[in-house]
Structure 1
Amino acid sequence: MDETTTTLDGYEISTDAARLDRARVHHWLSTDAYWALGRSRDKQDRAIDGSLNFGAYDTASGELVAYARVVTDHATFAWLCDVYVDRPARGEGLGTALVEAVRDHLAPLGIKRIVLATHDAHGVYEKTGFQPLDVPEHWMALRFR
C-alpha cells in the first residue's frame, strides 16, 4: 500500500513506517500504555513490521509525537490498536486527528469494519464514528497466556 501523508495544524501524519522512531514507540507502549506494559522490543518491532503504521510528527521539529497501528488485510477487516499520544502533545486533538487519518485511509478500501478495544478513551473514538458493538456476544477471543 502506498504511503499517505495528512497535514494538520502543526502536525503531519504519515504511514511511512521507515520514518518511525521505533525505540520511542517501544518506550511509550512498554512503559506507559496499560495494554502493552512490559512488551519486549522484539515483539514491538515484529508488530510494526506486520502492520499498517501511522506516525504523527511535529512539523517544526520532525519529532514523532503520536502513533497508531492497524492490523488489516486491506480488504475486509481492520483492528486499530496501540494508539498513543506523547504526554506533552495531549489535549490538542491530536489523538482524534490520528484516528480520523486511520479511518480516512482505510475507508476507500471497502473494509466492512474497523474494531478496537479501549478501557478509557471511548470519547476520542466516538468523535470519529466508532460505536459499541451491536451484538457483542457474537464476538469471541482465543487467549494465550
Structure 2
Amino acid sequence: MKILVPLDCASHGQAVVQFCSSMPNVLDSIIILTHVAPLPGSVDRGGVERAEHYVSEIARPLRAAGAHVLYMLRRGDPATEIVALARMLEADLIVMLARRKQRHGDRQLGGVIEAVVLHAEQPVVTINDVVSAGTALPGRDERTAA
C-alpha cells in the first residue's frame, strides 16, 4: 500500500507517526511524506532546509517501526500538487493532518484539505494534529500505545 502524507511543517507530526504506525500493514506499506511550499513567493534555502529537517524527523520513527518511508519536497499550489502527486505515485490513500483548533471561515477542515477531498481519486483520511501520549488509535493494540 502507498500512503501519501502531506505535511505543512506547522502541524505536530507525532499524530502522523502514531496513525501510520497503528495501521495493520505498516511494514508492507510505502509511506511518502511530502511538503508543498505554496506559490507565489520564494522559498529561501533556509526554508527548504527547515522543511527537509521537519520531514526527516517525522520519517525517523516510522522507519524505526519498520516502514519504508520516502519524502519529497514540492513547490506550487498545495492542493493541486497533493492531488497530482497522489495520482503520479498511484497512492492508495492520502492521510492529512487537520488542526482542530484552527477554523477557516465556516469551513472546519480548511481549503487545502477540502480541495484534496473533492479532487483526489484516492480515499482521504484526516486526523487531528493533537494526539496525546498514551492515546490508543483505532486498530492499535492498547498494549503498544505509547
Q: Would the TM-score normalized by the shorter structure come out above 0.5? A: no
Instruction: Place the TM-score, normalised by the shorter chain, in its bin.
Output: 0.3 to 0.5
Q: Could you tell me the TM-score, scaled by structure 1's length?
A: 0.32
Ranked by relative contact order (alpha carbons within 8 Å, sequence separation 6 or more), the top structure is 2
Give the TM-score of the pair, scaled to structure 2. 0.32
